[in-house]
């Protein structure tokens, strides 16, 4: 079990009782005094397996004082006990460490534990040994991170006293440097957060929190100003804007003189009147004046006197705070401007939403109209089977196909691809639908139909950059012939029963682009078992993740391998294959396919 004692602080009577762990307890009425004095003493840990060493060391150093603080001793009689104390405490300044205890190198092992495992570089370690031969000084000084090495026989009262004073002075200086370093780190972090704040109230509250964090002030602090954007001014006296600690419940606009004791308020008046920062041992008042002549005060207090390095930290921090005050007022003005603009934008957005709602309603109507022009069912015939699929890239597309039954064994068939997408393309497809509906007659040859549509389109939207590609054909099984005219459209595929293909390309220009253009018709034989495939370029120009086109060859292979399917099933399969090829991406163009099987 751990056996160590906390020696009595001089002048504090202790009522002790010994428990199983040999710890010293003190009277409850003295506990608060003890804890306060304990914080004001230097902690020295004696690690030695000889009790007499502990007694002599405490006796010799009992009257030692350094930098206004006395010493307080902790005792450990083994390496294990010392490790437990070190794990429980972080305020030990000096260790008087015996080398030989349970093992011949116990002290050296403990030194390694402190420096390497606990990562504690602050404690001053003084090795004491009664057997110098076990741990030669030169080797120990070089190989171990210790601060002094003494033989027990050479430690006279004077030498022990001077050794401890030297170690405490070194510890004090290191702690001061470490505190300064941590405070600087906090200042850097605090400054970054301060400049992120955009609200004056949040800003001044944040300032108080940062001061408390940097210097570990008590939470008793507040910010007050005599004038500013918030116009807080009562009879020329500073009024509280934000507060913390015992002042936290102060109401906004409360005068500082009604909260602070007279002596502390006098410090505020001095800062205001002399327009400067004011220090005393336990108070700090920072004064700021912005370019718009707003005077600002930050008041802090704590129960420990400010040290010189702490004042330096405050000055560094305040130099950034003064700039932040300027920025926060500018930000406040900007926020007001943004608020005004936000209200204006809300009004504009409201009107835009109304227009968008109207536009969406009209777009929905256009979508409904376009869905009507694409046939959902096809005429039934003992000579033809027909199927098709249409998938627009946007809500409104520019593709159109249709079938026109003439007689029992003849019909017209058409497909159109309008340039562009959206409403304008949808309007042109509607015009094309109306034109085919009036022109697709058994006595009108295909070249005549495209010629008329070309003239009509030029008269209506000529010069607007709108045009289309179109294929129109007449299947006449009485003569087993397909008569067609291709106006700039991609090749229509005619697949024969043996799996071979005829490609029906274009001999005519694009429709709606060139005036005075004469279109011509072509023909090819068609027989039972043939499959006629009309499609738009969105099918063959679909791309995969490697930027490859599906292409006409892949389309032909899909048709050849699935020729036993009926046209409706086959057209659905083609679109599925397109989606698989592109990785289910949204199409980059409208997708349309119309398939006719000759029975």
Give the position of tokens 């060139």. Answer: 514
pLDDT per position as a tens digit, 364-384:
666 666 667 788 889 889 999
**In CATH, which superfamily holds the domain spanning 195-330?**
GAF domain (3.30.450.40)
| Conformational region of residue 271, where left means phi above 0, alpha means psi within -120 to 50, and beta covers everything else | alpha
Is pLDDT above 90 for 386? yes
pLDDT per position as a tens digit, 431-468:
899 999 999 999 999 999 999 999 999 988 876 778 99
Q: Are 83 and 112 in contact (CB under 8 A)?
A: no
Residues ≥6 apart with Cβ < 8 Å to 545 = 583
Is pLDDT above 90 for 195? no
Report the distance separating Cα 522 and Cα 482, nearest Å.
8
Q: At what angle do helices 422-439 and 446-461 cross, to 10 degrees?
A: 140
What does the pLDDT read at residue 446?
Answer: 97
* Phi and psi at residue 75, to the nearest 5°: -120, 135
CATH architecture, domain 374-598: 4-Layer Sandwich (3.60)
Is pLDDT above 70 for 490? yes
CA angle 476, 481, 487 (to 5 degrees): 95
Instruction: For the chain, give the mean pLDDT.
Output: 80
Q: At what angle do helices 200-215 and 308-373 cross, to 10 degrees?
A: 140
Is pLDDT above 90 for 17? no
- Across 139-143, 146-150, 180-184, 250-254, the highest mean pLDDT is recorded for 146-150
Q: Which of 471, 463, 456 is nearest to 510 (CA)?
A: 471
Report the distance separating Cα 256 and Cα 243, nearest Å.
11
CA 6 to the chain's CA centroid:
51
pLDDT per position as a tens digit, 312-327:
777 766 666 666 666 6
Q: Which of 180, 192, 186 is nearest to 212 (CA)?
A: 186
Mean pLDDT of 408-437: 89
pLDDT per position as a tens digit, 96-106:
999 889 888 89
Report the distance separating Cα 342 and Cα 336, nearest Å.
10
* Phi and psi at residue 287, to the nearest 5°: -110, 135
**In CATH, which superfamily holds the domain spanning 28-179?**
Response regulator (3.40.50.2300)
Report the distance separating Cα 539 and Cα 516, nearest Å.
32
What does the pLDDT read at residue 389?
Answer: 94
In order of 221, 293, 322, 345, 348, the CA distances from 277 in angstroms are 15, 17, 12, 45, 50
Lowest mean pLDDT among 103-112, 289-298, 402-411, 417-426: 289-298
- Domains of the chain: which residue ranges? 28-179, 195-330, 374-598
Mean pLDDT of 145-149: 88
Torsion of CA 170, 174, 175, 176, to 10 degrees: 100
């Amino acid at each position: 079990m751990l056996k160590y004692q906390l020696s009595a602080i001089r002048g504090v009577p202790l009522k002790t009782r010994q428990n199983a762990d040999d710890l010293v307890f003190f009277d409850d009425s003295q506990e608060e005094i003890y804890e306060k004095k304990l914080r004001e003493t230097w902690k020295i840990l004696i690690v030695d397996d000889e009790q007499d060493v502990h007694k002599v060391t405490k006796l010799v150093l009992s009257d030692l004082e350094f930098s206004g603080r006395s010493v307080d001793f902790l005792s450990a009689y083994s390496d294990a006990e010392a490790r437990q104390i070190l794990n429980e405490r972080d305020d030990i300044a000096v260790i008087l460490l015996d080398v030989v205890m349970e093992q011949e190198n116990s002290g050296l092992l403990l030194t390694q534990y402190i420096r390497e495992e606990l990562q504690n570089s602050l404690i001053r370690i003084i090795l004491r040994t009664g057997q110098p031969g076990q741990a030669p000084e030169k080797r120990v000084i070089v190989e171990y991170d210790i601060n002094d090495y003494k033989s027990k026989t050479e430690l006279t009262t004077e030498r022990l006293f001077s050794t401890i004073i030297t170690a405490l002075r070194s510890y004090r200086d290191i702690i001061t440097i470490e505190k300064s370093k941590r405070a600087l780190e906090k200042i850097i972090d605090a400054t970054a957060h301060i400049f992120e704040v955009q609200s004056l109230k949040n800003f001044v509250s944040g300032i108080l929190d940062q001061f408390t964090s940097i210097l570990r002030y008590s939470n008793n602090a507040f910010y007050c100003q005599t004038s500013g954007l918030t116009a807080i001014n009562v009879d020329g006296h500073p009024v509280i804007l934000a507060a913390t600690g015992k002042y936290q419940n102060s109401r906004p606009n409360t005068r500082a003189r009604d909260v602070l004791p007279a002596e502390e308020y006098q410090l505020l008046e001095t800062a205001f009147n002399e327009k400067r920062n004011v220090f005393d041992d336990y108070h700090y008042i920072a004064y700021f004046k912005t370019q718009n002549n707003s005077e600002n005060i930050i008041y802090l207090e704590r129960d420990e006197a400010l040290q010189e390095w702490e004042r330096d930290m405050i000055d560094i921090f305040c130099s950034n705070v003064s700039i932040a005050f300027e920025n926060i007022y500018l930000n406040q003005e900007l926020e007001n401007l943004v608020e005004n603009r936000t209200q204006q934008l809300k009004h504009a957005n409201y009107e835009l939403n109304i227009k968008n709602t109207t536009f969406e309603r009209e777009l929905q109507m256009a979508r409904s109209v376009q869905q009507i022009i694409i046939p959902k069912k096809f005429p039934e015939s003992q000579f033809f089977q027909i199927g098709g699929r249409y998938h627009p890239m946007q809500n409104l597309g520019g593709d159109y196909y249709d079938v026109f039954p003439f007689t029992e064994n003849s019909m017209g068939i058409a497909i159109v691809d309008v340039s562009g997408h959206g409403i304008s393309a949808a309007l042109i497809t509607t015009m094309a639908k109306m034109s085919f509906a009036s022109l697709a007659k058994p006595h009108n040859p295909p070249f005549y139909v495209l010629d008329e549509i070309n003239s009509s389109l030029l008269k209506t939207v000529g010069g607007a950059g709108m045009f289309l590609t179109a294929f129109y054909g007449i299947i006449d099984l009485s003569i087993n012939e397909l008569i067609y005219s291709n106006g700039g459209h991609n090749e229509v595929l005619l697949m024969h029963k043996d799996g071979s293909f005829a490609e029906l390309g274009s001999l005519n220009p694009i429709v709606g682009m060139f005036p005075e253009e004469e279109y011509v018709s072509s023909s090819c034989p068609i027989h039972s078992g043939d499959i006629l495939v009309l499609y738009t370029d969105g099918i063959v120009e679909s791309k995969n993740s490697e930027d490859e086109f599906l292409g006409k060859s892949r389309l032909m292979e899909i048709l050849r391998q699935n020729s036993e399917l009926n046209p409706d099933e086959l057209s659905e399969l083609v679109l599925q294959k397109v989606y698989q090829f592109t990785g289910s991406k949204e199409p980059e163009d409208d997708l349309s396919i119309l398939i006719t099987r000759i029975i």
